[in-house]
A and B are shown apart, each in its own frame.
Chain A
Amino acid sequence: MRKLWQDAKHNFGNIGIIFILATVGGWFIFMILLPQLIMIDYSFRPLLPLRKIGGPEDVYTLKNYMVLFTTPLHRAIFFKTIWSSIIVTFVAFAICYPISYYLAKMARGARFSLLMMGIIIPYWINELLRLFAWQLILSDVGILNNILMFLGIAGEPINFRSGNSAVILGMAYAYILFMIFPLYNAIESLDSNQIDAARDLGSSWFRIHRRIVIPHAKPGIAVGCIMTFMLAAGSIAAPLLLGSPSSFWFTQLIYTNFETANWNQGAAYAMVLAGLCLIFIMLMLKLFKVSLKELTK
């Protein structure tokens, strides 16, 4: 600690240190810590008319949190959001693992650049625009239905947007990048000779992935899954634009609360969502037997 201090002093001088502490500290306190603390404070207070705030009824309570357990609809939406986010994570992983492996171990030269650009360039476009594009693709008179009907697979337009599927598909697509990059990084760092060695010892491709590639890529898989799950669970644009009444997302519930000026309820639900994400991170770390240190490697 003292060494750190002395190094800093040597490198930046006293004024430099004060400047760094002031900016970084200020940013941390005002932009991160305070808003969160205010939210937590809100979440534990009852919703009161303005004149009663600060009065005898304004006491800390768990009431806002209990609403989730006493309202079956909210509870259903909550669990459905978890479940759907897990599916999104799964779908994204299933799509991204082969792509990442191909990018990391097989694609060379021009093919690599082309594929990489194909993955990155769509992200130069705003997320909302991409979701609108999906809306167009999936609509009753959209491209997908046109193709299906042209091929005679569907007799009449399929309503893709009735259930969860459009939302899940849209999200899986929206977050592909956040899954591909951790996976690609992890797989890329695997010594290709290990793959060759396994093959040389007679292993099938399936076993090579199960025993060599996936165990090596675990930290990357954990990071990719955590990011995708958190983005999916916290997404509001995709369910708004691609959703149907039956795909109501927990974030939409939070949003509605804030909209209807029930900030306390909204804050409590936001905290629940944050807690959920924290639990998911812990679970993934346990599941993949990865330590936090390995993740930041």
Chain B
Amino acid sequence: MLKSVGEAVEFNHVSMRYPGTESNAVTDANVHIKAGEFFSFLGPSGCGKTTLLRLVSGFLDPTEGEVRIGGKDMRGIGPNKRPTAMIFQNLALFPLMSVAQNIGFGLEVRGVSKTERLKKAVELLELVDLPGVENKMVGDLSGGQMQRVAIARGLAVEPAVLLLDEPLSALDLKLRQHMRTELRKIQRRTGVTFVYITHDQGEALTMSDRVGVMTGQGVIDQIATADQLYNEPQTAFVADFVGENNAFAGAVTETDGDYAILNTESGSLKGRNRLNLNSGQKAIAFVRPEAILLAEDSTAVENILKFTVKNLSFEGSFITVFLDTPGGQTCVMKQNNDGSTPLMQTGTEIKVCFSAENTQLLPYGEVSYA
């Protein structure tokens, strides 16, 4: 139905600093987004996501480096001349126009006749599963419907790259989850390259082929698939930001092949040493709450620790247990509940364990708690 095919987007050593500011909004970004890929940038508020997107759409040009779309350097090419379409954070639909006029606006600009525009609008509304609303005013639509109209308006100009700036953040939870699958479907149907930015890791992990995780000043820490990000984070920030994690800071005492031993306030911990940390280096051991188990006397895993139960919250299929560590921090543990799991008593000391395989050693970095 749509002729457009996605094109690759490349960031080559792209840095961006707004005039009159002290620090970079984007720092040395090197990303190669493949044609037809669903790529997400994930990062906390203010980390430079919107700036990155505006560098692709052409509202900004980088202070250093180059942005290439389909292999072509885009410097100096305005937003009206790039093969991109942007879905704005607040959608920015034209309230004085009907749905069909909104969708047809980009075609009107290109001199397409009115009947052609209407035909295309109807077609696109079909594509985004919102048939029959072409004559409504956009103000009469619900949030999710407006969302789809905005996407249809973007797709109408047959862009090679669709840029989405947190388009779901204004929707309620249920609709947001529904739209995730819808967006993914639309992307597959059209083959357009999607560059999606969000601060919601759930969105990024469920929809994307690959995710780039950003930290402050627009530094991209890691580019990987969702499972790689979750299972093999490359930096302390990624380990901390993506999913829940317990962090134990310390120094490496000895290395042992793929593993190393970290001396922390809670005790010695053995973990995977994927990044080849050396003895004496400051590091953090990360353990997921679901990887922490109650230790039996007979358990034979590497890391066994004694913690005190602080409190617990019963969530049905699992129980979240908050533990006080000897180092004075809180450790979270998720216990599966099969219906007969006895509840722990607060204040009691328990023995927990986790395998070295499930423990990630990463170079020291700022995390929310450690």
Contacts and interface: CB of A to CB of B under 8 A. Distances in A.
Do A and B make up one complex?
A: yes
A191 B92 contact: yes
B92 A199 contact: no
Interface string A183-196: 00000000101101
Interface size class of A (residues with CB under 8 A): 10 to 19
Given A196-B59, A196-B79, A207-B109, A201 B96 contact: no
B110 interface: yes
A203 B109 CA distance: 6
A200 B94 contact: no
A204 interface: yes
Given A204-B80, A204-B109, A193 B90 contact: yes
B59 A202 contact: no
B269 to A, nearest CB: 49
B80 A203 contact: yes
Given A191-B90, A193-B88, A197-B88, A215 B96 contact: yes
Given A193-B92, A216-B96, A200 B109 contact: no
A196 B89 CA distance: 12
A202 B90 CA distance: 19
Interface string B81-93: 1001110111011
Interface in B94-114: 94, 96, 105-106, 108-110
Contacts of A191: 90, 92
A17 B80 CA distance: 60
B86 A200 contact: yes
Interface string B43-87: 000000000000001110000000000000000001111001110
A198 interface: yes
B80 A199 contact: yes
Given A197-B86, A197-B88, A202 B110 contact: yes
Interface residues of A: mostly helix, strand, loop or mixed? helix
Given A191-B90, A193-B88, A207-B109, A200 B96 contact: no
B117 interface: no
B225 to A, nearest CB: 30
A201 B157 contact: yes
Contacts of A204: 80, 109
Contact of B106 (A193, A202, A212, A216): A202
Contacts of B89: 193
A202 B109 contact: yes
Given A204-B80, A212-B94, A215-B96, A198 B88 contact: no
Contacts of A199: 59, 78-80
Interface in A196-239: 196-204, 207, 211-212, 215-216
A216 B88 CA distance: 19
Contact of A200 (B57, B90, B93, B108): B57
B153 interface: yes
Interface residues of B: mostly helix, strand, loop or mixed? mixed
B109 A196 contact: no
Contacts of A203: 80, 105-106, 109
Residue among A197, A200, A211, A216 with max Cβ neighbours from chain B (10 Å) = A200
Contacts of A216: 96
Interface in A138-160: none
A202 B157 contact: yes
A55 B84 CA distance: 84
Contacts of A201: 80, 85, 105-106, 109, 153, 157
Contacts of A207: 109
A197 B157 contact: no
Contacts of B92: 191, 193-194, 196-197
A262 B106 CA distance: 63
B166 to A, nearest CB: 13
Nearest to B163: A200
Contacts of B90: 191, 193
A212 B88 CA distance: 16
B103 to A, nearest CB: 10
B105 A196 contact: no
Nearest to B157: A201
Contacts of B81: 202
B84 A200 contact: yes
B243 to A, nearest CB: 33
B86 A202 contact: no
B160 to A, nearest CB: 13
A194 B57 CA distance: 15
A129 B109 CA distance: 49
A42 B81 CA distance: 67
Nearest to B96: A215
A23 B89 CA distance: 52
A194 B92 CA distance: 5
Contacts of B106: 201-203
B159 to A, nearest CB: 9
Interface in B183-237: none
Residue among A211, A215, A216 with max Cβ neighbours from chain B (10 Å) = A211
27 contacts: A191-B90, A191-B92, A193-B89, A193-B90, A194-B92, A196-B59, A196-B88, A197-B86, A197-B92, A197-B93, A198-B94, A199-B59, A199-B78, A200-B85, A200-B86, A201-B85, A201-B105, A201-B157, A202-B80, A202-B109, A203-B80, A203-B105, A204-B109, A211-B105, A211-B108, A212-B94, A216-B96
In the A-B complex, the 8 residue pairs with the smallest Cβ-Cβ separation, listed nearest first, are A201-B106, A193-B92, A197-B92, A202-B109, A202-B80, A193-B88, A200-B86, A203-B109
Interface of B: 57-59, 78-81, 84-86, 88-90, 92-94, 96, 105-106, 108-110, 153, 157
Interface of A: 191, 193-194, 196-204, 207, 211-212, 215-216
Given A198-B105, A216-B96, 8 more contacts: A193-B88, A194-B92, A202-B109, A202-B110, A204-B80, A204-B109, A211-B105, A215-B96
